[in-house]
């Protein structure tokens, strides 16, 4: 099974990708996570990447090309994968098609999770990450804003730099300008599965499973 999970920042792609990954037993390839790991590794390239991410800009296609080719051609991805955060530009979509041709891969399911911009901004500004265990929460959804619901540590919530409202607005601008044209590209190639992202996590998962089942039987 090979899936692209697509949508503006914070529509819930990562959450759904993790669920699909464990259900289909295929790796969840989040390019954002890979880039954050590169930053944490502390090498020189990490400094360049860190600067780009903190401004909400896109990492150049040349860096992404190397990174995605290495990942998708690894043994880990032989039985399939879920791409979260890639492709983000038309050039990346074309590159992905070239990788598919080279690896003789065919079916690719394209899932788009859709919600309005105001909901996205609200979700992003309320997102916090636990500095102790990495758990991600939305402050709107938890009562105690001091305690991590996962590891129970107090006062560990931090805000990702790219979750500041100004940066979010810029990330959305970048999304509309460079990422939305990808939809046109895929529309001409295959069916796009559209999912309503305003529903609960469980409802969205159920909608995705039903849509994938239907698409597989076609």
Catalytic residues: 13, 88, 127, 160, 171
Instruction: Based on the shown chain and the rule CB under 6 A, indicate whether residue 137 belongs to the binding site for ligand AMP.
Output: no
Q: Using the rule CB under 6 A, which residue among 59, 137, 142, 183 binds ligand AMP?
A: 59
CA distances from 86 to 118, 158, 175, 179, 202 (A): 23, 26, 12, 10, 24
Rounded least distance, CB 152 to ligand AMP, Å:
26
CA distances from 68 to 27, 30, 64, 184 (A): 13, 10, 6, 22
- Nearest 5°: CA angle at 191, between 181 and 172? 30
Of 154 and 180, the one with the shorter C-beta distance to ligand AMP is: 180
Instruction: Based on the shown chain and the rule CB under 6 A, indicate whether residue 197 belongs to the binding site for ligand AMP.
Output: no
Instruction: Based on the shown chain and the rule CB under 6 A, indicate whether residue 35 belongs to the binding site for ligand AMP.
Output: yes
Residue whose C-alpha is closest to residue 71's, from 30, 15, 21 = 30
Instruction: Based on the shown chain and the rule CB under 6 A, indicate whether residue 29 belongs to the binding site for ligand AMP.
Output: no
Q: Which two tokens mark 111?
A: 């899932």
Instruction: Based on the shown chain and the rule CB under 6 A, indicate whether residue 86 belongs to the binding site for ligand AMP.
Output: yes
Count of residues interacting with ligand AMP (CB under 6 A) = 17
Stretch 168-187 residues interacting with ligand AMP (CB under 6 A): 171
Instruction: Based on the shown chain and the rule CB under 6 A, indicate whether residue 58 belongs to the binding site for ligand AMP.
Output: yes
Rounded least distance, CB 123 to ligand AMP, Å:
12
Rounded least distance, CB 101 to ligand AMP, Å:
19
Q: Is there a contact between 82 and 165 (Cβ–Cβ < 8 Å)? A: no
Q: Using the rule CB under 6 A, which residue among 9, 12, 27, 197 binds ligand AMP?
A: 9
The pairs formed by 201-208 with CB atoms below 8 angstroms and a separation of 24 or more are 201/12, 201/15, 201/16, 201/19, 204/12, 204/16, 204/113, 205/16, 205/19, 208/16, 208/20, 208/111
Instruction: Based on the shown chain and the rule CB under 6 A, indicate whether residue 56 belongs to the binding site for ligand AMP.
Output: yes
Residue 68 CB-density burial (10 A; 0-12 exposed, 13-18 middle, 19+ buried) = buried
Instruction: Based on the shown chain and the rule CB under 6 A, indicate whether residue 85 belongs to the binding site for ligand AMP.
Output: yes
Rounded least distance, CB 120 to ligand AMP, Å:
11
Using CB under 6 A as the criterion, which residues of the chain lie in contact with ligand AMP when the complex forms?
Answer: 9, 31-32, 35, 52-53, 56-59, 64, 85-86, 88, 92, 162, 171
């Amino acid at each position: 099974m090979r899936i692209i999970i697509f949508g503006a920042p914070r529509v819930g792609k990562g959450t759904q990708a993790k669920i699909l990954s464990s259900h289909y037993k295929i790796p969840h390839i989040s390019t954002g996570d890979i880039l954050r790991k590169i930053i944490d590794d502390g090498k020189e390239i990490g400094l360049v990447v860190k600067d780009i991410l903190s401004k909400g800009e896109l990492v150049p296609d040349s860096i992404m090309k190397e990174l995605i080719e290495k990942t998708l051609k690894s043994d880990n991805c032989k039985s399939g994968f879920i791409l979260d955060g890639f492709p983000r530009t038309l050039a990346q979509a074309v590159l992905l098609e070239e990788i598919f041709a080279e690896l003789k891969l065919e079916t690719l399911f394209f899932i788009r999770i859709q919600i309005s911009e105001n909901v996205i901004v609200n979700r992003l500004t309320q997102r916090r990450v636990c500095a102790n265990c990495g758990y991600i929460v939305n402050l709107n959804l938890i009562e105690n804003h001091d305690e991590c619901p996962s590891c129970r540590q107090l006062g560990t919530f931090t805000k990702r730099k790219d979750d500041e409202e100004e940066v979010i607005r810029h990330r959305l601008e970048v999304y509309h300008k460079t990422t939305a044209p990808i939809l046109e590209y895929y529309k001409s190639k295959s069916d796009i599965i559209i999912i309503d992202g305003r529903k609960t996590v469980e409802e969205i998962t159920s909608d995705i499973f039903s849509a994938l089942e239907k698409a597989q039987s076609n």
